[in-house]
Amino acid sequence: MRCAPRHHRLCLFIATVLGWCLLLCWMTPASAQDPLRPQPEKLDVFVPRPAKPVVPDVKRPEGLPRPPKPPPRVQCNARLGGPPDGMIKSCTELIEGGHETGRALAAAYIARGRAFLARGDHDLAVADFSQALNLEPDNAQALHGRGLARNAKGDLDGAVKDFSEAIWRSPRTAAFYQDRARAHLGKAEYARAIADLDEVIKLTPKPALALRERCYVRA
C-alpha cells in the first residue's frame, strides 16, 4: 500500500499503532485471547506418606542361654545405687557367703546399711554401720552413715557424736559438717549449726545450699 506525500504523517501513525497491536497479540497467551477456551484443570497429585519404620524383633531366641548374673560382689556396691531391695539381697548373699573379710566385708555392711537407710529401716541401718565399725573402727563413711540413721530415728545426740568422729577422721569432707549442722539445728543449737555451715562454705566450690541454710538459721 502506497501513501501519498500529503498523508505521510497519518500513514506513519497508523503503521505505529498496528505494530503495537501485533506486539500485544503476540505477547498475550492464547487462553487470555479466547475467554471461551476451556482452562486446563489442576490435577491433584498423590503424595504417599512415608511408611512406618519396621521395628526388629528383639526377643531372645529360644534355646539361647541368658547372660550370667553378676556376682554379689559386683551388685553389692554402694556406688552403683539401684533399688534398695536388690542391693540388700546382693549384700546379704555376700556377707553370708563367708568369703569376705576385713575391709571388703566392712564395705558390704556399709552398702547394705545405706540400702536399709534408703528403705527407711533405720534400726537395721544402725546395726549394719556398727558391724562395719567393728571391722574398721576408723571408717569415716560408716560413722557418717550411722549418724544419718540415728538422725532419722531422732537420736540427735548420737548423730552429732557420729558426725563429729567422722569429721575428726576426715576433716575436709563438707558433707560431714553439713549433716552435723542439721543435727545441731534439730537440737536448736543455732550457733554450732552456723559454725558448721561456715566450714561447708569454705570447703565447697559452689556452696549455694549451705548459704541458703545458713541464712535460714540466722533468720
- Cell 528403705 locates to 119
Residue 152 pLDDT class (50, 70, 90 cuts): very high
- Report pLDDT digits (tens) over 178-203: 999 999 999 999 999 999 999 999 99
Please provide the CATH number assigned to the domain covering 71-158: 1.25.40.10
Angle value at C-alpha 118, between 113 and 119, nearest 5 degrees: 95
- Report pLDDT digits (tens) over 206-216: 777 767 777 76
**Domain locations in the chain as residue ranges:** 71-158, 172-219
User: How far is 35 from 213, CA to CA, in rounded Å?
Assistant: 85
- Report pLDDT digits (tens) over 65-106: 665 555 556 668 756 667 889 899 989 999 998 887 899 999
Which of 202, 206, 205, 146 lies closest to 179, judged by CA?
Answer: 146
177 versus 4: the higher-pLDDT residue is: 177
Which of 199, 191, 197 lies closest to 209, judged by CA?
Answer: 197
Amino acid 143 reads L
Average of per-residue pLDDT values in the chain: 80
Phi and psi torsions of 61, nearest 5°: -60, 145
What is the reported pLDDT for 83? 84
Please say whether the beta carbons of 167 and 175 come within 8 A. Answer: no
153 versus 101: the higher-pLDDT residue is: 153
